[in-house]
Structure 1
Amino acid sequence: MVTATADFVVPDELLAHEPPEARGVPRDAVRMLVSTPSAQRHQLFRDLPTVLRPGDLLVVNTSATLPAAVPTLDGHVIHFSTCRADGTWLVEPRLAGRAGAPTVGPLDTAVAGQRFALRGGGSVTLLSPYSQGRLWVAALSFDDVPGYLSRHGSPIRYSYVPRSWPLSAYQTVFATEPGSAEMPSAGRPFTDRIVTRLVSAGVQVAPIVLHTGVASAEGHERPYPEWFSVPASTARAVASAQRVIAVGTTVVRALETTGGAAGSGWTDLVVTPERGVRVVDGLLTGFHEPHASHLDLLAAVAGPGLVSTSYAAALAAGYRWHEFGDVNLLLSEHDVREV
């Protein structure tokens, strides 16, 4: 399924090239488009406690971002994506840019059996292709991947982020369990102050964990399993909530995998409009690229029409895209309170 939003174009000036703090904008002051069937409201993220209502449940991802990009000794870069149940990893060999620049694209000349020597004495050996020209199943020469990455890695970044930023720029206030190749970025605008205001307003906050792999820049690329955990306490909160609002597509994937019950393991669930959603009533998310598989998940939660309308409004109003950008709150109800 391709949503109606698939063919839009994002101008370069709408790509978030740096954290909002570097532009003098606090984390919780990024823009927030509140999208309902009746209207699109242009607000700031710090308005969230007045937009939601008592009895709502926000479910957040507590996975912390790994410094998952490691240079090879022959001048390439390996992006560590996802640990698999059998102990192998999905990795993405990338072409390095000039010194200090982000990578310029997948290494499409990689072949099975190719070994990449890494700094610090580690190595990665490609075993078999997982997705055409991009992800590979690989064996590693070391067991403690988070420890190795903490010593030798840096945060993954792409061409729209021209300079490097510290790992702290890629962590959310909820980050407690290292494991994500890339930041669960829908949670980035939250601050301790916003969480306190939400709880004071009667909005519950509950955690799940889903360790994200590398983002897909390829249309229709098959998804890959990601490890998740839904605690029993969160399952109880879901069962009693008036509305369940997922903070990020990762939360939707975890909750829809278990049907809102407690559970853990690897999920390969693909959420599409044809499948629909059974647990989630709303979604706080960033803005995604044309043809990204995330758009189908958004359409499953909010409907293709509302997603199309919200993206048209965001483009017209100059919202910023990607992990350092603005956010979109998709709600199906007509009775969202005015700020």
Structure 2
Amino acid sequence: MRTSDFYFDLPKELIAQHPLEEREKSRMLVLDRKSGNIKHKIFSDIIDYLQEGDCLVLNNTRVIPARLYGRREKSGGKVEFLLLNNIEGDNWETLVKPGKKAKIGDIIEFGDGKLQAEILDIKEGGTRIVRFLYKGIFQEILDRLGEMPLPPYITAELEDRERYQTVYSKKEGSAAAPTAGLHFTKELLKKIENKGINIVYITLHVGLGTFRPVKVDDVNEHKMHSEFFEVNKETADIINATREKGGRVISVGTTSTRTLESAVDDQGRVKKCSGWTDIFIYPGYEFKVIDGLITNFHLPESTLIMLVSALTGRDKILNAYKIAVEEKYRFFSFGDSMLII
């Protein structure tokens, strides 16, 4: 299977630069994963496709202002940091630009020295392990000095930081938003809950995998970057009970999907667990937990379009994307949604 098998032509003007004023008013393409039939709806119609006894799984990670701009202590050269994973304490894995000049032992200063970072190690793949040095509370300093790490295809300025957060975001640690959840409002979630659908939360802190393109021709040779995830006992119990009673498990986003498929045991039961996952889901994968997926429209040749193709089939997905382009759906992080069910 070739990476080029997942290419599609996307006009630049369909890449959404701003979130809609009302989250739940985005368009929603509904794809029947068995027949391939397509319907065009509004996201608030999602409640019509959820049944009493179903379980909706959301990722409650919260994006941190993970992009920092600083200077080298000695040379004064400009440096850009993207915080990826909190390893332990004040030690972080970071993406550094320009990377070649960021050597072990170098000190980078941010905000006129209010925050410093010492480069401790260089990992395979080029990311750096750094230790931050500061006085006060790290998160407060980061809130003052950092910027929201919007994807490179969004060039417009984000006026309200909260629009790159889900309304249920809780646990800080992501370098990118789980964008499938951006369409929900608290009012819509309440309506879903009142219909008898269980709503549960997992956590996956989105890291480098979101930013890293597939650079190999053979899909099997691609290696995913590890990301931290957590599934608590209550969530695991509700999901298992849902499946035992014949209900459906609907995952909100590829991050929730990867978490659930990483947390399942040999008997097909989701277990309480936490750790790091580098699971790579592409066609040929047999899903063990989810029955449906709410997602956005993804980049050509990305691991995300490969994941949704695994659920429905590549031909059905590429046909749906072709129709979405023809119908001028909005693509990527601030774009419209797709329900695969």
| TM category, shorter | 0.7 to 0.9
Q: Count residues with an aligned counterpart.
A: 313
Residue of structure 2 equivalent to 1:15: 15
Match of 1:156 in 2: 149
Which residue matches 1:285?
A: 295
Shift of 1:111: 4.5
The aligned residue for residue 35 of structure 1 is 31
Distance 1:85 1:257 in 2: 22
SS state of the match for residue 81, structure 2? strand
1:315–1:217 CA distance, 2 compared to 1 (3 A): farther
- Which residues of structure 2 form unaligned runs of 5+? 72-76, 216-221, 265-269
Say which SS state the counterpart of residue 234 (structure 2) adopts.
Answer: helix
Match for residue 249 of structure 1?
A: 254
The structure with the larger Rg is: 2
Distance 1:141 1:308 in 2: 48
SS in 2 for 1:141: strand
Query: Any idea what the Cα deviations from partners look like across 1:57-114, whole Å, max 9, x if unmatched?
Result: 11001111111111113433211112236974321224xxxxxxxxxxxx35444325
Q: Name 1:178's counterpart in structure 2.
A: 172
* Among candidates 306, 312, 326, match of residue 302 of structure 1: 312
The alignment's TM-score, normalised by the length of structure 2, stands at: 0.84
- Shift of residue 249, structure 1, vs aligned partner: 0.8
Q: What is residue 275 of structure 1 aligned with on the other side?
A: 285
Please report the RMSD computed on the Cα atoms of aligned residues, expressed in angstroms: 2.3
Q: Secondary structure at the match of 1:227?
A: strand
Q: 1:269 to 1:217 in 2, by over 3 A?
A: closer
Q: For 1:31-74, what per-residue CA distance to the aligned partner results, in whole angstroms no more than 9, with x for missing partners? A: 11111133111111000001222222110011111111111134
Residue 250 of structure 2 aligns to a residue whose secondary structure is strand
In the alignment, structure 1 segments of 5+ residues that lack a partner are 95-106, 332-339
CA contact (8 A) 1:208 1:230 kept: yes
State yes or no: 1:231 paired with 2:232: yes
Normalising to structure 1: TM-score of the pair?
0.85
Q: Measure, in 1, the Cα distance between the counterparts of 2:42 and 2:322.
A: 18
> Larger deviation: 85-94 or 291-300?
85-94
2:161 is the alignment partner of 1:167: yes
State the alpha-carbon separation in 2 of the partners of residues 319 and 285 from structure 1: 13
Decide whether aligned partners of structure 1 residues 85 and 304 sit closer, same or farther in structure 2, where only a CA change above 3 A counts.
Answer: farther
Residue 50 of structure 2: which of 47, 52, 55 is its match? 52
1:122 aligned partner:
116
Distance change in 2, residues 1:277/1:4 (3 Å)? farther
Aligned amino acid, residue 298 of structure 1: V
Is the 2:115–2:134 contact (alpha carbons within 8 Å) kept by the matching residues of 1? no
The one-letter code matched in structure 1 to 2:79 is H
